[in-house]
Structure formats: structure tokens, C-alpha cells
């Protein structure tokens, strides 16, 4: 009888609703899980006649599931203590790949494998843009992101130094003043260079650059000269820099130490002045450093990954990619916190966080499930009552059928 099929369709539809609610509740603690809801629609109708006014008399055939809708509202972002954890604040998805197949995910509970590859908990590679010499190259396309775990950063010998100092214009001839500058050789060993200024006359000071005794055995070159100032206390000579100050024969076996002394700042202003105030050192800069071992990494709001080394240096090693789609409702849920694009969703548009309507990244954080337990419990009661009602319909139809069969006895 048709009555049974109507009730059966109700049982089947509400079973799907109960399954959806149960799945939501099961994923209350799933990272970045997006809750779903079930939609129903009625089936076709059979016209069994007309009323006296000509209106159709129709009989429905039951109900069916018209779809399951995913709620893509952002979940709560909670801080963690792991720099591999990332959360998207706003629109977008992380791009992950396994066996050449790309997927989208909101779950940023990433981890590092033994080779330093940034992966999901299921081993999928997190995709982004690589960096060359500390500069991200987005035009090179997506590639798996790798953290330099266990890597050593080679030492860099000092090539340029800069001193910000003032020499007392009122000092008497013969007065000396010194500026210490830490430099590094090709092995990463540090040396303290001392620049000694000696006043030789009005607006003129001789200088001498020296290493500590025993640091080098060879005779230095280009390490002495004269600084000349104008009546306003501005350095006029040498102009720009003192080039190739060299100390050969370093006793630690490093290459000859050779560097330039930059006398102007980035704006072209002299960094050594001669004014009528006490001689002073206001700062030094140099571009050398010792070798360092990888320590950790951080991710900024735009997804740029920066590695920290034990020598205090940092280096940009890549940038996390973020994808968007025109219609998130058209995405297919594939499990493992992943989604794939379809014709309904449109192709993924991949870029970087904070651009093109994409959200920003929050490091040391994870997005929580957006399931509201109180709403799900309310929906669960409604679905349960609907299931019970359809069950009652089945038993009622069964009673009517038995009564009908009893008529022939």
C-alpha cells in the first residue's frame, strides 16, 4: 500500500537528519569542523480528482532529503603553544596535497615530519610559495613547504661596518677617543676592532683601525687615515667610505679579514660628526655573523614563515598559500577535514593571506568546531519526534491493513 511508502520515506529522511546531527555532535572537538544541517522537500503528488469548484484534489507521496548544507561560519580561535598550529581568521582555506591531488582545509593543526616537511596529521603536504635568499617568489607556483629543521646557517664574514659617533670639537690637539666594533671572520669567530681617533688640528682627526694583539700576524692595510670636518661639524673627507680595510694572517685560520667602513647612513648623511660636546659612541652596525643552528619558526598574518637560528639571525623560508572559491556551498566534504572543488563551487583561486578577500593567519592558534551543542540538542529532539511520528504512522497503517483483511473472514 502507498501509505507504507509514505511513512517509510519519512523514516528514511529523518534517519539522515539524525545521522547528520549525530555526526555534528561527534565532531564537537574536531579542529575547524564545519557543522551540517539536513534539508527536506516533499515528493511528487498524485491528482485523484477535482473539487466542485474545479480545484485539484492531490495526494502526496512522502518526503525526501533535498540536501545537506554546510555552515562555513568561522569557529572560535584558541591559542596553542605550537608554532606549527595555524588558524585562518576570515575567508579562505589552506591548500594541502597528497599524491599529486590537492584539497582544501580549514584545519591548521599541522606538524613537521622527520625531513622538516610541513604536513597535516594525515601526512598531506601543506602548500605555499618558496623563498630564495630570503625573498618569497610567488611567481614560481605552489610547492610543499619545508622547515630547515637541523640545518646550519653558515657564518658570514663582516664586509661593512658603520659607526655613529661624535668627536669633541673643543678637545685639544693630541686628544684620543676610541670606538669598539665587533666583527666576524670567515669562520664565524668574533673580533673586536678598535677605531682610535686622534685630534691633529682644527677640524681634523687621524684615525687608526686595529685588531687585538695576536688576532692577526700580517701587516694591515688601509687602516689609517684622516677625517676632515667643515665648520658645521659635518664630515667632508673621506667621502662615502673607507674601502678594503684588511687584516691578513688571522691566527684562527680564517680568510683575511677585509671590510669597508661606511661613513654615511642610508640617507647619505655622515655618521661621524665633530661638535662641541663630549665625544661619544651612539651605535655601531656590521653585517657579519657567526654560524647558527635552526631553532624555531614563526608565521606572520600574511603567512610568511620566518626561521630563527641560534646566532640570532632570522630568514624568510616561504609563505603559506590560501585559497578561496566562489561558492563554498558547492564544495564536497571528503573527510580528514578536507574539501574538494566541484563545478558548483568553481575552481580554487590561490593567493596569500590578507589579499583578494582572503583572511589573515594567526600563528600558535587553532580554529575550533563551529557546532553549537545547544542547537544540535534541539534539532535532535525535533528529528527524534519526527522519526517517532513516522513510526506511529507505520503502526497505524498496519492496524488499518489488519482490519481490512479481517473483513473477508
Go through the domains of the chain in sequence order and give each one's CATH number.
Answer: 2-72+370-406 (no CATH), 85-146+297-304+316-354 (no CATH), 160-286 (2.60.98.20)
Which residues lie below 8 Å from residue 104, measured CB to CB, with a gap of 6+?
A: 93, 94, 95, 96, 323, 325, 331, 338, 339, 340, 341, 348
Q: Which pLDDT value is given to residue 55?
A: 81
Verdict on whether the full-model pTM lies above 0.95? no
Beta bridge partners of 321: 352
pLDDT at res. 275? 97
Torsion of CA 319, 357, 90, 377, to 10 degrees: -130
**Percentages of the chain per state (helix, strand, coil), in multiples of 5:** 15, 45, 40
- Residue 286 has phi, psi (to 5 degrees) of -160, 160
Residues 125, 127, 132, 136, Cα dihedral to 10°: -150
CA distance 275 to 165: 10
Nearest CA to 319 among 282, 358, 377, 270?
A: 358
At residue 1, does pLDDT exceed 60?
no
Q: What is the pLDDT of residue 315?
A: 94
CA distance 134 to 121: 28
pLDDT at 46: 77
**Quick one: pLDDT band at residue 2, thresholds 50, 70, 90?**
low
Q: Over the stretch 131-161, which tens digit does the pLDDT of each residue have? A: 998 899 999 899 999 999 989 999 999 999 9
170: helix, coil or strand?
Answer: coil
263 to 79, 162, 163, 167, 276: CA distances (angstroms)? 47, 6, 7, 14, 20
Percentage of residues in the chain having pLDDT higher than 70: 99
Q: Are strands 314-324 and 304-309 parallel, antiparallel or unpaired?
A: antiparallel
Amino acid at each position: 500500500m502507498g501509505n507504507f511508502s509514505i511513512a517509510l520515506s519519512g523514516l528514511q529522511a529523518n534517519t539522515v537528519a539524525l545521522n547528520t546531527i549525530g555526526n555534528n555532535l561527534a565532531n564537537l572537538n574536531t579542529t575547524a569542523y564545519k557543522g551540517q544541517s539536513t534539508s527536506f522537500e516533499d515528493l511528487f503528488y498524485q491528482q485523484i480528482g477535482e473539487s466542485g469548484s474545479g480545484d485539484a484534489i492531490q495526494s502526496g507521496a512522502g518526503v525526501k532529503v533535498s540536501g545537506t548544507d554546510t555552515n562555513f561560519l568561522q569557529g572560535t580561535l584558541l591559542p596553542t603553544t605550537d608554532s606549527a598550529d595555524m588558524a585562518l581568521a576570515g575567508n579562505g582555506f589552506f591548500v594541502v596535497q597528497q599524491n599529486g591531488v590537492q584539497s582544501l582545509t580549514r584545519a591548521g593543526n599541522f606538524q613537521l615530519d622527520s625531513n622538516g616537511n610541513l604536513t597535516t596529521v594525515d601526512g598531506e603536504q601543506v602548500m605555499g610559495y618558496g623563498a630564495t635568499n630570503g625573498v618569497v617568489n610567488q611567481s614560481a607556483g605552489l610547492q610543499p613547504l619545508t622547515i630547515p629543521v637541523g640545518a646550519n646557517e653558515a657564518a658570514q664574514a663582516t664586509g661593512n661596518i658603520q659607526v655613529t659617533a661624535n668627536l669633541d670639537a673643543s678637545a685639544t690637539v693630541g686628544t684620543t677617543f676610541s670606538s669598539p666594533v665587533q666583527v666576524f671572520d670567515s669562520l664565524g669567530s668574533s673580533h673586536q676592532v678598535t677605531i682610535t681617533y686622534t685630534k691633529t688640528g682644527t677640524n681634523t682627526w687621524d684615525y687608526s683601525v686595529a685588531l687585538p694583539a695576536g688576532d692577526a700576524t700580517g701587516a694591515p692595510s688601509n687602516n689609517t687615515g684622516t677625517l676632515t670636518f667643515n665648520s658645521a661639524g659635518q664630515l667632508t673627507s673621506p667621502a662615502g667610505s673607507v674601502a678594503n680595510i684588511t687584516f691578513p694572517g688571522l691566527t684562527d685560520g680564517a680568510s683575511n679579514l677585509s671590510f669597508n667602513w661606511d661613513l654615511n647612513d642610508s640617507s647619505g648623511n655622515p655618521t661621524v660628526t665633530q661638535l662641541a660636546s663630549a665625544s661619544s659612541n651612539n651605535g655601531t652596525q656590521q653585517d657579519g655573523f657567526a654560524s647558527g643552528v635552526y631553532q624555531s619558526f614563526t608565521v606572520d598574518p600574511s603567512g610568511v614563515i620566518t626561521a630563527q637560528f641560534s646566532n640570532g639571525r632570522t630568514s624568510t623560508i616561504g609563505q603559506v598559500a590560501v585559497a578561496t572559491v566562489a561558492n563554498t556551498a558547492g564544495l564536497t566534504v571528503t573527510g580528514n577535514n578536507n574539501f574538494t572543488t566541484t563545478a558548483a563551487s568553481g575552481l580554487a583561486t590561490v593567493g596569500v593571506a590578507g589579499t583578494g578577500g582572503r583572511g589573515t593567519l594567526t600563528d600558535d592558534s587553532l580554529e575550533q568546531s563551529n557546532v553549537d551543542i545547544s542547537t544540535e540538542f534541539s534539532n535532535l529532539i525535533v528529528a527524534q519526534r519526527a522519526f517517532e511520528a513516522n513510526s506511529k504512522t507505520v503502526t497505524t497503517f498496519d492496524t488499518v491493513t489488519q482490519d481490512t483483511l479481517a473483513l473477508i473472514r
